[in-house]
A = this chain, B = another copy of it.
Amino acid sequence: MKSFAIGLLGFGNVNRTLVELLQRKESELRERHGIECRITGVASRRVGWRADAAGFDVADLLRERNSDAFARMRGGDCKHYNAWLDAAKPDVVFEATSLNVETGQPAIDHIRAALEQGAHAITANKGPVVHAYEELRELAARRGKQFLFESTVMDGIPIFSLFRNTLPAIEVRGFKGILNSTTNVILTGMERGLSFDESLGRAQQLGIAETDASHDIDGWDAAVKVAALVNVIMGVRLPPQKVEREGIRGLTGEAVRSARNAGAPCKLMCRAHHTESGVSASVRPEQIPLTDPMALVGGTSSIIRFETDIFPGLTITEENPGLYATAYGMLADFIRAAGS
């Protein structure tokens, strides 16, 4: 049995759901994978830098939502990240803070320090992948630790580990897909009769779109995912700013509906393919004929089709991801890291 101290960086939906999932899968983790764990550190803007080397009570953690409540719990409040690492002594850090598209910071610094201290680093944040993949991968390898990030694209559907673990010696020539669910939900709403603004408002009410949804609507989230895939599975360095990008802001409800009625619905398509000089990558609305399975992917579902030297078309579709889908990717990364 291996025992792991866990540090949670960020304590929003993703890491809270992860804590629930760790609890739900506790006996399987123990019996099948020989993994025991306790949460020794929790940090977020709201709760501060909380550490308890003996391990927090999971029920308390899931109940409490603010700094005052945490202050009543056992465990100290650290002054800064390095003090928190020293106090929590995590064997694995789950990084789930929000994305900084331009620089990937401060998540990169946090992951670097965690790896240097000898922890595995698992992130649901695309920033460190698109801005520091090679550096963090090499640092992890030098320390005999893992830097894993399965949850950054298509929730926890195994994309990166598919190529890392199950498709050895294969060459990825390119891919296309629908990778941003917020825009897909908005487009689906527009097909059903809403205007762009109404559909956005509906998605915001449902908690699918953020209050400021421009990151999704303008194609940035999709572009960052494309860049992550290009960097990791195509092995070509590509910052998200180099992905040609057009969002869905310019589409009217009428245009979306007439595209659907003409048998070729509008989708925010992500594309990348090898060229002679590197990789060409784009995110833009396209009309997709109904004979292409991409056209059938609506709402929060997503899809990706890889072109490889062995399989001319290998497609993975995720339908209506459940509550646990993103956190599951982090759990699966944890099991991989624990077995490494």
Contacts and interface: CB of A to CB of B under 8 A. Distances in A.
Contacts of A168: 32-33, 332, 335-336
A156 interface: yes
Interface residues of A, number: 44
B322 A318 contact: no
10 contacts: A156-B310, A157-B311, A165-B166, A167-B332, A168-B335, A305-B317, A311-B328, A312-B321, A314-B318, A317-B317
A296 B167 CA distance: 25
Given A296-B293, A332-B169, A335-B168, A315 B313 contact: no
Contacts of A313: 301, 317-320
Contact of A166 (B28, B162, B301, B317): B162
Nearest to A313: B319
Copies assembled:
2
A201 interface: no
Nearest to A155: B311
B335 A310 contact: no
Nearest to A324: B310
Given A29-B169, A161-B166, A296-B293, A321 B311 contact: yes
A291 interface: yes
A311 B290 contact: no
A243 to B, nearest CB: 25
A312 B316 contact: no
Contacts of A55: none
